[in-house]
Amino acid sequence: MSQTDPSTQPRQRLLYLHARTPSVFSDILGYTPIEPIKGFRPEITATEQDWPYNTIHDAIIDGWQIVQFPHLQAPFDDRDLDVVGYEFILQKMEVVSQ
Partner 1 sequence: MTTDKQYLLSDADVAKFIVTGYHMVQLDLPSGLNESIAQQLDTLDYNPGDAITDVVPELNQVLEHPATTGVLKSLLGHDYIVQSHRHWHCKQPNSGHMQWHQDSVNRRDTSINRFLGLFYPTDITPDMGPTVIVPGTQFRNAPTDRMATYTNIRGQVPIVVKAGTIAFTHYDLWHGTAANRSEVKRHMIKFLFGRNSPNTAPTWNHDPEALNAPRDWNKKDKAEDANNILTFANPIGVSQSDHYKERQIRRQCWNELMGQTA
Query: Site residues (CB under 8 A) for partner 1?
Result: 16, 18, 20-21, 26-32, 41-47, 49, 51, 78-85, 87
CB of 49 to partner 1, least distance (A): 6
Say if CB 95 and CB 5 are below 8 A apart. Answer: no
Name the residue nearer to partner 1 (CB basis): 8 or 45.
45
d(C-alpha 98, C-alpha 88), whole Å? 26
Name the residue nearer to partner 1 (CB basis): 5 or 80.
80
d(C-alpha 76, C-alpha 95), whole Å? 42
